[in-house]
Chain A
Amino acid sequence: MAMFLFELVMAYVATICFGIILNIPTKAFNVAGLIGAFSWGFYWVISQLGVGIAFGNLAAAFVISVLSMYAAQYKKMPMVIFNIPSLVSFVPGGQAYQMIRNFAIGQSQTAWSFFVQVVVIAGSIAMGFILGELYHQIWRYGLTKIVTRH
């Protein structure tokens, strides 16, 4: 439990730090940090339940996307201010590094397996964002309008 809380704090801090590098407004810090922490916590819990990396990242990206949309409305700020910093904990940095390292030392077999992992994670995050965007559209225009529009 203590470990879990610690991870949440870490995600919160990481989100705000990335926010500072991207120069987001100070007013947005807390909300962006909370979104980062919540989505990381969500990812942590569902990955404990044994879903794979693909679904875990997809679900987390979806959560980030939806929460950022509500935060953008609540704070009257663009959505990019919340979703980009929150994403930083999900970047497949470790796998990308292992891929490059194994290519550099000539272990192509291992490198390709890490490459697949990077593609899967990046793809699921993108897919999660796409689903979040779809949710956004449905929420904004109403389901009936989308269904009846040909």
Chain B
Amino acid sequence: MVTSSKAQVNVINACLLAGRILIENGSEMTRVVDTMQRIAHNAGVDSAQMFVTVTGIVISIDDTPNGQVASIERRTIDLGKVARVNELSREFAEQKLTLGMLIQRLKRIDNDTPTFSFWTRLIAAALLSAVLLIVFTGEYIDAPAGFVIGGLGYCVFYFFNRQFKVQFLSEFVASLVIGLLAVIAVKLGLGRYLDNIIIGSVMPLVPGVPITNAVRDLVGGNLISGPARAFEALLSSIAIGSGIVCVLHFL
């Protein structure tokens, strides 16, 4: 049992940091609570209470005056960070790390986890569009148009999201651009079926992580985060859908 209050503060800090990184980057709640419990347990605190939602974490240690809150303002998707926090928690459980080192490594994960370069992501998005266009529709003829427009759509999404940090707005603008480009491509004879090009090109924007996590949170019994994430997924879908509707309706 950890008794000194300095050590308790460290345990709480480590838990909050790990929890915040996990939630910010698209982990499901069961894993968040589990990881935080493990870190607390392995640091010698057996009775920590935690309340975790998609927008904030509250944690306290029983019978002590310590209690802390971390609010979560932005949520992105970076499963690499989730995997690395998981790895770190394992190493801490095997006692390869001290608590101080754990906090340091968590901070490092939070600040600089390597991501794929913009160009790699762009090519992946373009390829994803082309491939899913073929899988969904069984037509090959529009694959090149899907490749280019899907890539450009993702590009618009990426820069808008980085500039303004409003995800729904970025999705709306990206799907608007995709719709316009698809119409132009068909008018110029670069693609044949407008529908197929749009279907393929919006695929990189699909909110796969919120949908999956909504289901997992609900099954896990977290009745606050489950519906919240389902709503997030719904809003994303509506943003993408209305971008397309604008194009279809006015052309």
Q: Residues of A with Cβ closer than 8 Å to B?
A: 7, 10-11, 13-14, 16-18, 20-25, 28, 40, 76-78, 80-81, 83-85, 87-89, 91, 93-94, 96-98, 100-101, 103-105, 122, 126, 129-130, 133
Shortest distance from the beta carbon of B38 to any chain A beta carbon, whole Å:
13
Contacts of A105 in B (CB 8 A): 248-249
Produce 1/0 per residue, B105-136, CB < 8 A to A. 00000000001100011001101100110111
State whether B128 touches A97 (Cβ < 8 A): no
Contacts of A23 in B (CB 8 A): 77-81, 115-116
Contacts of A13 in B (CB 8 A): 127, 131
Residue of B with least CB distance to A122: B211
What separation, in Å, do the CA atoms of A97 and B219 have in the docked complex? 28
State whether A84 touches B127 (Cβ < 8 A): no
Interface centre among A11, A83, A126 (most CB of B within 10 A): A126
Known: A22-B209, A25-B83, A88-B208. 12 other contacts (CB 8 A): A21-B124, A76-B87, A77-B86, A80-B28, A84-B209, A91-B206, A91-B208, A93-B136, A93-B199, A93-B206, A101-B244, A104-B248
Q: Residues of B with Cβ closer than 8 Å to A?
A: 26-28, 31, 77-84, 86-87, 90, 115-116, 120-121, 124-125, 127-128, 131-132, 134-137, 154, 195, 198-199, 202-204, 206, 208-209, 211-213, 215-216, 219, 237, 241, 244-245, 248-249
Residue of B with least CB distance to A16: B124
Partner of B216, one of A24, A76, A104, A133: A133
Shortest distance from the beta carbon of B83 to any chain A beta carbon, whole Å:
5
State whether A10 touches B131 (Cβ < 8 A): yes
State whether A94 touches B80 (Cβ < 8 A): no
Shortest distance from the beta carbon of B139 to any chain A beta carbon, whole Å:
11
Partner of B83, one of A17, A40, A78, A94: A78
Whether A94 contacts B79 in the complex (CB less than 8 A), given A88-B128, A103-B245, comes out as: no
What separation, in Å, do the CA atoms of A14 and B206 have in the docked complex? 13
Q: Is the interface of A mostly helix, strand, loop or mixed?
A: helix
Contacts of A85 in B (CB 8 A): 208
Q: Is the interface of B mostly helix, strand, loop or mixed?
A: helix
Interface centre among A16, A21, A22 (most CB of B within 10 A): A21
Residue of A with least CB distance to B120: A20
State whether A129 touches B83 (Cβ < 8 A): no
Closest CB pairs A-B (n = 4): A20-B124, A17-B128, A17-B124, A104-B248
Contact sample, A vs B, 26 pairs, CB 8 Å cutoff = A10-B135, A14-B131, A17-B125, A17-B127, A21-B121, A21-B125, A22-B78, A23-B77, A23-B81, A24-B83, A25-B79, A40-B135, A76-B87, A77-B83, A78-B83, A80-B27, A83-B212, A84-B212, A85-B208, A88-B208, A93-B132, A96-B241, A101-B248, A104-B245, A105-B248, A129-B216
Contacts of B136 in A (CB 8 A): 93-94
Contacts of A24 in B (CB 8 A): 79-80, 83
Contacts of A129 in B (CB 8 A): 212, 215-216, 219
Contacts of B209 in A (CB 8 A): 22, 80, 84
Contacts of A22 in B (CB 8 A): 26, 77-79, 208-209
